[in-house]
A and B are shown apart, each in its own frame.
Chain A
């Protein structure tokens, strides 16, 4: 299962990075969204898959718990990922409205920057 997930995460990374390298604002947003999924899956997989029961204490059971630490980390990551997605989504709308372009190579600020 870990091997399968390694493949999935690899594909996610490749696709999301391809999006993030794009000039188009919306594609960068897609890339950001996808890469946070990839990172979450990677975390969970690195903790070891195939736990026998959820990490909720119960008496008299000999089944092994799924690793709680990656779960705790991912829970935080999901929420922060949501915050980031919401922010850059609104930012994208705002930029597009204001400058009437979605091309990052045009959004360069003042010419005297150098």
Chain B
């Protein structure tokens, strides 16, 4: 399974290297996906026999993260689509991008994406799946922004990255919750513990987070906004990433985790209805588009919605339909994108208003487009018809949803039919419109890939049994039970066939009144709720909001910072402890206080309050001295001779220092602050003081741990060789702390010296 890494190696090392030494290897890049395709195909018989190929390498074993790969029916189908379409896209790109000077870079990105996408579908570990998932977002970003000199490309690339990578983060949170429930990141182990997750209180959270990841990636409403803008990418990229593979990563995740998360009513309603609404929304919006690629983008949104809703229903029919439609959609949408690329390439425009009558000039392209469009519309005998029938059959569920879903399904499919017709009729039939007069059939290099896909569409439609066995395996992996898919073109006369007939007849009817239909859609379209505007609002609003907060907070005044910090301390520490602590009055030990202790405390309190009101500098300095000496007296009372001595010396020196500095000190003058500022200052100070008192009282009342002091008392003589425990701690046990202290004092001394020196030397200030 290490083959997953091979495109990485080719894309990131071999290609740039060969480019450097001027070897034009990119002409042969197609070999990489082709070999991968054949290697994976080799496992077919083994997969059909129900085997699972797996391989694991340790990555971060301490976090249960491994590079483990697992190839079962579901992964097999995805891996074939990724490598198969990848091969065709590479062949197509070689011709399409031939005039591009940075083609080597282009193929590097494509291979990087191919590896990442294979990693997503083959990973057996949620974390490595996440890493590969985000790598697909990054390579998609690089490819959408390939023509980075275009403003719109950069916009589209950034939008796609923000939305899909953001959704990926939500998904990661979901994965981590899954880990906390099951104790494993390995998908195979999580699948075996599905009951545990379903009964867990986190089930709904996990489900919602994972769905956000999946819906953002698969462009489901309301996260679809990035996909139309992603059409700024070169057309082969749109064909590969934004219709056939990457946008199906979300679908893959839904399918992969269906056994674990699926089956609940939450799953059913959220997934099915998101899917079916996205389908209707996408197909209606597709009709309005003038740009062929935009039409296909909305059509992709709609088709992804269809698959999502099938996975939401997740009955046997639904899942078979979903898997089959994943294959079909990759085939027909891939070919249609390539046709768009051909039209763009040959006629020089993708605008429907400027296209028409191309059918006679480019008959092969027209035929391929017709096959693809008919498959998309669900017309027999093409593959799209079969999966659409399965879709109609699947939405006929019990209960009230059994009325709503089929109605919406038919409604959406009518519009799907219409835009499919627009795609094939507008550019190819009618009068010849392009400005370019010499339009001719595309070269074989461009035609080959869509033709192969067109043949696939036909083959799968006429002989669906070709893939029935692997679809059964894929569906079995999604449902977690044995499935036998019977696919056939003709199902007999039944309700789904009736629904198809309604779709086709209404579709033809409305298509003949196309302008009228467009007019109505334009009218209904709500101008107020524009999701793109909302996204742009976020883009400009978040920096604005951040700027506003910064402006308020970073004022540059010490006072404001202190007010913010202390208010936060009061709110977080003070209030929470008031709310959550038991408010029993602790034992105050009042009887143990001696009279002289009262005196010391009283002098300290009174002098500090007096300090507040004095206007004379000298008195203030003397009061500070009094407080300092009282503190040292307190140290004496509390049996701390070293402290008392130090405090006494320090206090004396401080006093001397103040007196030396006295002539240079400013007067204490009245502050010209606003009254409200003073009140806030007073409130903040008093509340902080109260918080401190409160904390001290309660920390005394709730002593949880034993003091570690006994260690020092016992070992002071033994290990430190001194009887004065405080001294031994300072110079022995915590010697480095004292070292730091001396350093600080030294720095302070140097700074003081420098400040004084600066004053003497810097005469220009005097």
* A47→B707 contact, CB < 8 A: yes
Q: Identify which of residues 26-75 in chain A touch chain B, using a CB-to-CB cut-off of 8 Å.
A: 26-28, 30, 33-34, 37-38, 40-42, 44-58, 65-69, 71-72, 74-75
* A13 to B747 alpha-carbon distance, docked (Å): 27
Residues A104 and B557 in contact in the complex (CB < 8 Å), given A6-B697, A11-B608: yes
* B664→A96 contact, CB < 8 A: yes
* A12 to B747 alpha-carbon distance, docked (Å): 28
* B666→A24 contact, CB < 8 A: yes
Q: Identify which of residues 68-109 in chain A touch chain B, using a CB-to-CB cut-off of 8 Å.
A: 68-69, 71-72, 74-76, 78-87, 89-94, 96-98, 102, 104-105, 108-109
**Of all chain A residues, which has the CB nearest B734?**
A72
Nearest Cβ distance between residue A34 and chain B, in whole angstroms?
Answer: 7
B684 at interface by CB-CB < 8 Å: yes
Chain B residues lying within 8 Å of A71, measured Cβ to Cβ, are 640, 642-643, 726
Nearest Cβ distance between residue B305 and chain A, in whole angstroms?
Answer: 49
* Chain B residues bordering chain A, tally (CB within 8 A): 95
B685 at interface by CB-CB < 8 Å: yes
Residues A92 and B638 in contact in the complex (CB < 8 Å), given A2-B589, A17-B688, A87-B751: no
Q: Interface segment, B154-162, B215-223, B653-661?
A: B653-661
Nearest Cβ distance between residue A62 and chain B, in whole angstroms?
Answer: 14
B514 at interface by CB-CB < 8 Å: no
* A27 to B558 alpha-carbon distance, docked (Å): 13
* A54→B640 contact, CB < 8 A: yes
* B653→A4 contact, CB < 8 A: no
* A26→B589 contact, CB < 8 A: no
Partner of A69, one of B605, B696, B729, B765: B729
* A42→B709 contact, CB < 8 A: no
* A84 to B608 alpha-carbon distance, docked (Å): 20
Q: Give chain B's interface secondary structure class.
A: helix
Q: Give chain A's interface secondary structure class.
A: helix
* B709→A69 contact, CB < 8 A: yes
**Of all chain B residues, which has the CB nearest A77?**
B741
* A76 to B628 alpha-carbon distance, docked (Å): 16
Partner of A14, one of B669, B689, B755: B689
* B601→A7 contact, CB < 8 A: yes
* B669→A68 contact, CB < 8 A: no
B609 at interface by CB-CB < 8 Å: yes
Q: Identify which of residues 229-246 in chain B touch chain A, using a CB-to-CB cut-off of 8 Å.
A: none
* B707→A105 contact, CB < 8 A: no
Chain B residues lying within 8 Å of A105, measured Cβ to Cβ, are 557
Residues A3 and B647 in contact in the complex (CB < 8 Å), given A17-B688, A98-B765: no
* A21→B745 contact, CB < 8 A: no
Chain A residues lying within 8 Å of B667, measured Cβ to Cβ, are 102
Nearest Cβ distance between residue B4 and chain A, in whole angstroms?
Answer: 51
* A29 to B631 alpha-carbon distance, docked (Å): 18
* A4→B608 contact, CB < 8 A: no
Partner of B696, one of A9, A19, A27, A78: A9
* A104→B559 contact, CB < 8 A: yes
Nearest Cβ distance between residue A10 and chain B, in whole angstroms?
Answer: 3
* A21→B685 contact, CB < 8 A: yes
* A8 to B473 alpha-carbon distance, docked (Å): 77
* A83→B749 contact, CB < 8 A: yes
* B650→A24 contact, CB < 8 A: no
Chain A residues lying within 8 Å of B759, measured Cβ to Cβ, are 94, 97-98
Chain A residues lying within 8 Å of B650, measured Cβ to Cβ, are 78-79, 81-82
* A67 to B726 alpha-carbon distance, docked (Å): 9
Chain A residues lying within 8 Å of B766, measured Cβ to Cβ, are 97
**Of all chain B residues, which has the CB nearest A58?**
B723
* A98 to B562 alpha-carbon distance, docked (Å): 26
**Of all chain A residues, which has the CB nearest B634?**
A41
B756 at interface by CB-CB < 8 Å: yes
- Interface core residue of B638, B657, B682, B696 (most chain A CB under 10 Å): B638
* A41→B726 contact, CB < 8 A: no
* A21 to B562 alpha-carbon distance, docked (Å): 7
Q: Identify which of residues 598-633 in chain B touch chain A, using a CB-to-CB cut-off of 8 Å.
A: 598, 601, 604-605, 608-609, 611-612, 617, 620, 624, 627-628, 631
Nearest Cβ distance between residue A41 and chain B, in whole angstroms?
Answer: 7
Chain B residues lying within 8 Å of A27, measured Cβ to Cβ, are 668
B744 at interface by CB-CB < 8 Å: yes
Q: Interface segment, B172-180, B190-198, B424-432, B712-720?
A: B712-720
**Of all chain B residues, which has the CB nearest A37?**
B631
Chain A residues lying within 8 Å of B730, measured Cβ to Cβ, are 72, 75-76
Partner of A33, one of B617, B654, B696, B765: B654
Chain B residues lying within 8 Å of A50, measured Cβ to Cβ, are 592, 638
B205 at interface by CB-CB < 8 Å: no
* A75→B693 contact, CB < 8 A: no
Q: Identify which of residues 707-766 in chain B touch chain A, using a CB-to-CB cut-off of 8 Å.
A: 707-709, 712-713, 716-717, 723-726, 729-730, 734, 737-738, 741, 744-745, 747-749, 751-752, 755-756, 758-759, 765-766
B588 at interface by CB-CB < 8 Å: yes
**Of all chain B residues, which has the CB nearest A33?**
B624
* A42 to B723 alpha-carbon distance, docked (Å): 26
B577 at interface by CB-CB < 8 Å: no
B639 at interface by CB-CB < 8 Å: yes
B98 at interface by CB-CB < 8 Å: no
B520 at interface by CB-CB < 8 Å: no
* B725→A21 contact, CB < 8 A: no
Chain B residues lying within 8 Å of A33, measured Cβ to Cβ, are 624, 654
Partner of B724, one of A55, A67, A91: A55
* B658→A89 contact, CB < 8 A: yes
Q: Identify which of residues 52-102 in chain B touch chain A, using a CB-to-CB cut-off of 8 Å.
A: none
- Interface core residue of A49, A96, A102 (most chain B CB under 10 Å): A49
Residues A26 and B665 in contact in the complex (CB < 8 Å), given A3-B588, A44-B638, A44-B640: yes
B491 at interface by CB-CB < 8 Å: no
Nearest Cβ distance between residue B170 and chain A, in whole angstroms?
Answer: 36
Residues A28 and B558 in contact in the complex (CB < 8 Å), given A18-B682, A72-B730, A75-B643: yes
Chain B residues lying within 8 Å of A20, measured Cβ to Cβ, are 558-559, 562
Residues A54 and B639 in contact in the complex (CB < 8 Å), given A2-B700, A15-B611: yes
* A56 to B151 alpha-carbon distance, docked (Å): 77
* B673→A23 contact, CB < 8 A: yes
B349 at interface by CB-CB < 8 Å: no
Residues A86 and B646 in contact in the complex (CB < 8 Å), given A5-B696, A12-B604: no
* Closest CB pairs A-B (n = 9): A14-B689, A10-B693, A83-B748, A102-B666, A6-B696, A18-B685, A57-B723, A93-B664, A72-B729
What would 12 A/B residue contacts be, using CB atoms closer than 8 Å? A11-B609, A26-B665, A42-B696, A51-B638, A54-B639, A54-B641, A55-B640, A67-B707, A68-B726, A75-B646, A83-B744, A86-B749
* Chain A interface residues toward B at CB < 8 A: 1-15, 17-28, 30, 33-34, 37-38, 40-42, 44-58, 65-69, 71-72, 74-76, 78-87, 89-94, 96-98, 102, 104-105, 108-109, 113
